[in-house]
Amino acid sequence: MSVNIVAPMPGTISEILVEVGDVVKADEELVILEAMKMENPICAPRGGKIKEISVSEEDKVDTNQVLIILE
């Protein structure tokens, strides 16, 4: 079952740490979201494989926007 990993707040994607096809562990950092002049790591809620990355570095995102799909 796929899991959508979403932005917890509006901000800018400053770094993407994974690629499609990567296998990740629970709590592994996937994306760095810059918001309110702070870097916020977005981590995997569980282990799995990166199915899709819906954003690029420097993209502006809104709250609850899908960043990554994990399967």
On the question of pLDDT at 65 being above 90, the answer is yes
Q: Is 34 exposed, middle or buried (0-12, 13-18, 19+ CB in 10 A)?
A: middle
pTM: 0.93
CA atoms of 65 and 26, how far apart (whole Å): 21
Domain 3-70 of CATH type 2.40.50.100: yes
Give tens-digit pLDDT for 24-44: 999 999 999 999 899 999 999
Q: Which one-letter DSSP state was computed for residue 47?
A: -
| pLDDT at residue 10 tops 90 | yes
Q: Is the pLDDT of residue 1 over 90?
A: no
Sign of torsion, CA 12 18 19 25? negative
Work out the average pLDDT over 49-58: 98
pLDDT of residue 70: 97
